[in-house]
Amino acid sequence: MKIVLIGAGNVATHLGRKLVEVGEEVVQVFSRSLPKAAALATELGARPVDDLYGVTAKADLYIIAVHDDAIGEVLKKIEDFVLDKLVVHTSGSTPAKVFETVPELNRTGVFYPLQTFTKERQLDFSEVPICIQASQDADLLVLEELASKISSNVYKITDAQRAWLHVSAVFVNNFTNHLFNIGNSCLGKKQLPFEMLMPLIRETVAKLEDGSPKDMQTGPAVRKDIKTIERHLTLLNGRGDLQEIYRVLTKHIKRAHADNWKH
């Protein structure tokens, strides 16, 4: 399959590398920045292009992996020469109805890899959930076949499911990482290294193999340990922002485990 990658950011880079690795042909890489397009294109054996009107009409699949806000604009610029081609975006938060702005396109879809991508990191794509949607059943099969080549976790989902996946990803990735940042800054106050928390963080995740996160909940909020909660809040005096986060999450843990607090 001849593929055009529109975008040269984190998602495009990781996806492009994996597609080439499994034998797909990336023919062009677009970026508004020619050096960025050239860097990725060279790596993938493709041609770089920094003008959307220069995108070839002779590919089978167009993967739009740009900032959410730019998807609509990209579609308008390429629609004339991709009318009968399969066009997908990789966004977790952009509804498929973005394609309604270009009604002439009748073969559209979504190819959303649910992962946090960093260019410099090696990533095992084979476990990344690939969430696919397509406006036509035949194209869903095409995307399923392609996704199955790069990952063993392929899911056919709806817009509504993707929206909830995306917000869940914010909770378990973005917000979790910020809690790690808070832990780091608390330790920094006392000249303690962040490495001290790593075994605990690793075990927090490893425990999920044994049961649902709800069953794995520990700590003062779930065991009704009001003294410890108050001690922590006192310690956080002068850091009202951390007290606010502590209070809100403690309140919500209490509520989610209300059965414990009734006794």
Segment 150-209, which members bind its own copies (CB under 8 A)?
A: 153, 155, 157, 160-161, 163-184, 186-187, 189-192, 194, 196-205, 207-208
Counting DSSP H helices and E strands in the chain, the numbers are 11, 8
Segment 88-147, which members bind its own copies (CB under 8 A)?
A: 93, 114-116, 118, 120-121, 123, 127-129
Strands (E), the chain: 2-6, 25-30, 47-49, 61-64, 86-89, 108-113, 130-134, 154-156
Count the helix, strand and coil residues of the chain and give each as a percent rounded to the nearest 5: 55, 15, 30
Q: Which amino acid is at 140?
A: L
Nearer to its own copies, 57 or 205 (CB): 205
Give least dist CB 18 to its own copies, A.
14
Decide if residue 232 touches its own copies (CB under 8 A). Answer: yes
Q: What are the backbone angles phi and psi of residue 192, rounded to the nearest 5°? A: -110, 145
Q: Near its own copies by CB under 8 A, which window of 20-28, 48-56, 97-105, 235-243?
A: 235-243
Give least dist CB 173 to its own copies, A.
5
Give least dist CB 234 to its own copies, A.
10
- Residue 149 neighbours by CB under 8 Å, 6+ apart: 22, 23, 24
Give least dist CB 133 to its own copies, A.
14
Decide if residue 13 touches its own copies (CB under 8 A). Answer: no
Exactly one of 32, 76, 156, 255 binds its own copies (CB under 8 A); that residue is: 255
Decide if residue 220 touches its own copies (CB under 8 A). Answer: yes
Cβ distance 15 to 63 under 8 Å?
A: yes
- Residue 254 neighbours by CB under 8 Å, 6+ apart: 221, 222, 261
Segment 37-66, which members bind its own copies (CB under 8 A)?
A: none
